[in-house]
Structure 1
């Protein structure tokens, strides 16, 4: 059993590797996309410097905590789209009947689907997050926690996207709903949770996964708490298991489009 799992993971990592290598055929475009993504993200540092010049803290966050929040948001977003980019465009595959080519491969269907594409500009997001950590709040302990939460956050984001995308097995226009919730998750993740109260805070911690992807990890990195760390890890396993279950339940309803399409 363990050998089979290792083989599947090895195949998935190879798929990601070859996706990146394919994008690197045009090195100028590849490096330009990464560089401009870093610069695009860096533009927001000026905005926060101005805000903190006016006020010492925002929602209980200082400049250091906000940069840590932005760094983690960028890195989790980046890693999720480097490894699992297709999870964010799953509705298109379902609605257009393009899952056929994945069903006939001798690989795990779910892993084959979500690792079949890579967003190379997301490498810039991942690097930007690490740069922010190193510049504004570096410590060895915080770096290790940052790397751990980047992995858990990427897994949660991909699982959430997979969960929403799988609704397209049942509902025709579920893609619009899924896109709206994913955009909301990304937008809220760049603001301190201290500015949200009542229904908005409930939404971020109980409906959208922002709390477990960004807010709790940031609090753990600032003031370590083993209980919060355990909750984050448990939530990661739970949402991944739920998303996997929903995907395979929906796959039973999938109707082929009879497209002649081959995957290498």
Structure 2
């Protein structure tokens, strides 16, 4: 056990060093970083503006007001941005497997998955986090939901759990590249499906809700946590929702390990 902990500490030290080097490489061209963040800011603000304009005349849709829907949108935006800060590099796994670039990670003295997680920095996620938190805060006040100490404690816990749901889904799909030649297309499909997490599940037929609660668990990203945040449920089981992320991450990591075990490089 002590040896394994030492290995993990060494892997984390190497991964964090790679992260610092990656971040410094971005700062070599600070103008690009500024433009990337400005682009993310424009996209986030324009998306919020279009969202509010589209719903301003509808009032209540399937039991959800504009303010409540904005809370869900803000929450999922932050959760997705948190996933981006650490797990964004997993999207490159299919290309690494096909090109043989994965070999570079396997020969280094650190856990290869941890290196992949920490070796890529997305510098514009902070804008999304700020915009998402701002939207969620303003919308919560406008929705009239009672935000007590329990809700304030639940929100950060649920955000971390939701980010891990994103992480589990994308890691599982990208790990299929060890078996599927065109897994990058499947990974991109799931990436596009992420937007479905911003819609209340009550908008969908029951069979779709069942799929989003099991096979592709987008419902656990924002919908179920926001039911509690908005006071739409008082079930004591809501505190189990953030556990969905860690629990889903376990089989995703196991799938990754099984793929690594059968990986034989490209031979080049």
* Fold equivalence (TM over 0.5): yes
For the structure 1 residues 25 and 251, does the alpha-carbon distance in structure 2 shift closer, same or farther, using more than 3 Å as the test?
Answer: same
Pick one of 198, 207, 210 that aligns with 1:199: 207
CA contact (8 A) 2:157 2:242 kept: no
Q: Provide the residue aligned with 1:213 in structure 2.
A: 221
- 1:122 maps onto 2:125 in alignment: yes
- 1:159 maps onto 2:168 in alignment: yes
For the structure 1 residues 103 and 149, does the alpha-carbon distance in structure 2 shift closer, same or farther, using more than 3 Å as the test?
Answer: same
Q: Provide the residue aligned with 1:229 in structure 2.
A: 239
Q: Secondary structure of 1:207's partner?
A: coil
Further displaced range: 62-71 or 12-21: 12-21
Q: Provide the residue aligned with 2:109 in structure 1.
A: 106
Structure 2 CA distance, aligned partners of 1:154 and 1:10?
23
Structure 2 CA distance, aligned partners of 1:143 and 1:40?
28
Alpha-carbon offset, residue 43 of structure 1:
1.3
Q: Provide the residue aligned with 1:187 in structure 2.
A: 195
Q: Secondary structure of 1:208's partner?
A: coil
Structure 1 CA distance, aligned partners of 2:140 and 2:16?
31
Pick one of 45, 48, 53 that aligns with 1:45: 48
Q: Provide the residue aligned with 2:75 in structure 1.
A: 72
Q: How many residues align?
A: 257
What is the alpha-carbon root mean square deviation over aligned residues? 2.3
Structure 2 CA distance, aligned partners of 1:53 and 1:70?
15
Unaligned runs of 5+ in 2: 142-146
Normalised by the length of structure 2, the TM-score is 0.86
Spell out, residue by residue over 1:175-220, the C-alpha distance to the aligned partner (whole angstroms, 9 max, x if none).
2122212311x12022222211222222221221211111111112
Further displaced range: 171-180 or 139-148: 139-148
Unaligned runs of 5+ in 1: 260-264
For the structure 1 residues 46 and 98, does the alpha-carbon distance in structure 2 shift closer, same or farther, using more than 3 Å as the test?
Answer: same
Normalised by the length of structure 1, the TM-score is 0.87
Q: Secondary structure of 1:119's partner?
A: coil
Structure 1 CA distance, aligned partners of 2:167 and 2:113?
12
